[in-house]
Amino acid sequence: MSAQDKDSPAKYSNTLFSEQSAHSLDSAKQLAEQERRRRLRRFQRLGLPFCLLGLCLIAFLLRKPIREIVTFEEPDFEAIQRQMAEEEERHSQEKPLSETERQALEQGKKRYGNQDAAIIIEMRFPDELFAPEGLLDLAYCAVDRKPSEIGLVLEFRQPIASEQGENSLRINGQNEVTLTAGGRTRSIKLQHDMPEADFAAALEELHASHYGPCTHPLAVTISPELRERRRQREEKALPKIIPASSSDHAQDTPPAKTLVLPAFKAETSTLPQK
C-alpha cells in the first residue's frame, strides 16, 4: 500500500458509532417524547379536573373572609350597644330573683314612718358615705314632721340586673313630679343631684295635694345639725383665689375666704437691646 492510500480521507469518514447505534438513539428520543406527551394527556384528562375542583373548593371556603377584607365597613356601635342592652334585659327577665335574694333585699331596706301612707319616698344609693346628705336630711325631716302621713324606704346597695342607674329616687313609684304653683305647672325630675329646694317643694306640694289644707302644713327644711356641719366645713375650707378682673370679685364673698390677685400688666412693647 502506498503512502497516498494511507492518507486517504475515506479512512477517517466513518463515525465512531455504527448506523445501528445511531438508529437506537433516535428511537429512544422518540419514545421519551411519546412518553412525555402520554403523561401530559393523562394529567390533562385525570389530574387537571381534580386540581380545578380543589381550587374551586378553596375559593368557596375563603369567600367570606375575602368578602370581609374587600368590602370592609365600620361597625355600627349604636346597634351593638342596643343589642347588648336587649340581651341584658332578656337575661334579667329570664333569671328572676330567688326567694332568698328577695328576702335579702327586703331585710336590707330601712323603713321609717307609715308604710301605708299616701306618700312613700323610695331612695337607693350605693353607699351611705356618698349619698346626698341634703336630700336624706329633707326626707328624714318630712317623716319626722308627718310620721303618719309619709313613709320612707331607704336602701344602700348596688343595683340588680333589672334596675337602672346606681342611684334611685322616687316618690310613690315615680321619678318625676308635676308641681302647680301660682297657676303655672312645672315638672321636676327626681335625681340624686337635684337641687334641695326642688325636692322640698315636691314633698310639700304632694302632701298638700294628697291631704288637702291643714292647720299645720308640711314645711321641709334642713336640720340645724346639717347646717352646723356645713358651716364647719366652710370654715375649714381653703380660701378661693380669684383675679381682680374676675366677675366673682364683685360678689359678696367673705374676705377671710378669698384671695384677690392684684391686676398687673406686663410691659412687652420694649424689647431689650442685643
Exposure on the CB side of residue 20, measured as CA atoms within 13 A = 0
pLDDT at 27 over 50: yes
Confidence at 85, pLDDT banded by 50, 70, 90? confident
> Rounded to an integer, what distance in angstroms lies between the CA atom of residue 22 and that of residue 45?
35
The answer to whether residues 117 and 149 touch, using CB atoms and an 8 Å cutoff, is yes
Task: Give 140 or 244, the one with higher predicted confidence.
Answer: 140
Confidence at 149, pLDDT banded by 50, 70, 90? very high
Give me the DSSP letters along 66-111: HHHHHS-----HHHHHHHHHHHHHHHHHHSPPPHHHHHHHHHT-EE
Exposure on the CB side of residue 131, measured as CA atoms within 13 A = 21
Give me the DSSP letters along 52-74: HHHHHHHHHHTHHHHHHHHS---
Contacts of 136 (CB under 8 A, 6+ apart): 123, 154
Q: CA torsion angle for 207, 208, 214, 220 (degrees, to 10)?
A: 50
> Residue 213 has what pLDDT?
83
Q: What is the pLDDT of residues 193-210, one digit of tens each?
A: 999 999 999 999 999 988
Task: Name the H helices within 95-211.
Answer: 99-107, 133-145, 196-211
Whole-structure pTM value: 0.56
Task: Give 264 or 37, the one with higher predicted confidence.
Answer: 37
Average pLDDT over residues 47-56: 84
Per DSSP bridges, beta strands 119-125 and 168-171 are: antiparallel
Contacts of 142 (CB under 8 A, 6+ apart): 121, 150, 152, 203, 207, 218, 220
pLDDT at 12 over 50: no
> Residue 96 has what pLDDT?
65
β-bridge mates for residue 179, sequence order = 186
